[in-house]
Chains A and B, each alone.
Chain A
Amino acid sequence: NAGVTQTPKFQVLKTGQSMTLQCAQDMNHEYMSWYRQDPGMGLRLIHYSVGAGITDQGEVPNGYNVSRSTTEDFPLRLLSAAPSQTSVYFCASSALETQYFGPGTRLLVL
């Protein structure tokens, strides 16, 4: 099992550009989540999904969209990137009371 995979590992965007952060898991987990990590703030939940076709907002959803068409994939879309979205993004899937995290995507918005 590859676990939770994320692509790309690093991305530079200009303000106003859009992009999609990819996340996939091969553990057949129903629950998937996106977090952003900023210095001194821990991880904050952006969006989460309890199964294919079902998503909901977390603590900091503004500026981000998600969809869940399959159990395996949970992409995060930035519609119009802003410098405030410079961060490290982690995708996670969960089952049996444990969340498994991907390696992260480091995003820099200029």
Chain B
Amino acid sequence: AQSVTQLGSHVSVSEGALVLLRCNYSSSVPPYLFWYVQYPNQGLQLLLKYTSAATLVKGINGFEAEFKKSETSFHLTKPSAHMSDAAEYFCAVSPYGSSNTGKLIFGQGTTLQVKP
């Protein structure tokens, strides 16, 4: 069965520092992988997605993620944190290798705190 594990429920960085949010997945088929961001009291917004094309995926707001099959990982990074990046981040995998089923499996979420 597919699953997603996000390492670290809470990550704190200083403004301007590197952001690294970790995600490992388990999938019996080539996965589609996603990162979503949730700001307080809002819905989820797609940051980026991997759909078996380039392994380095660039998203919005300066975020990027690298798909590493050998490590079953899809970690999210940003070179320089901004105060506005403070939010909760979710990694998700789509079963059966396609997202067009209306189904996603989410990780537990990681809250990013950015300190001035």
Contacts and interface: CB of A to CB of B under 8 A. Distances in A.
| Pairing of A with B | yes
Interface of A: 4, 30-33, 35, 40-45, 48-50, 58-59, 90, 92-104
Contacts of B20: none
Closest 10 CB pairs of A and B: A31-B102, A42-B106, A101-B43, A48-B102, A33-B102, A101-B44, A43-B106, A97-B99, A42-B108, A103-B43
Given A43-B106, A101-B43, A50 B101 contact: yes
Contacts of B36: 101
A90 B108 contact: no
B102 A97 contact: no
Interface residues of B, number: 29
Interface in B19-58: 32, 34, 36, 41-46, 49, 51
Nearest to A33: B102
A32 B43 CA distance: 15
A40 B99 contact: no
A48 B101 contact: yes
A97 B103 contact: no
B72 interface: no
Given A48-B101, A103-B43, A97 B49 contact: yes
A98 B43 contact: no
Interface string B62-106: 000000000000000000000000000010101000111111111
A49 to B, nearest CB: 6
Contacts of B4: 42
Contact of A40 (B34, B94, B108): B108
Given A40-B9, A90-B44, A101-B43, A50 B102 contact: yes
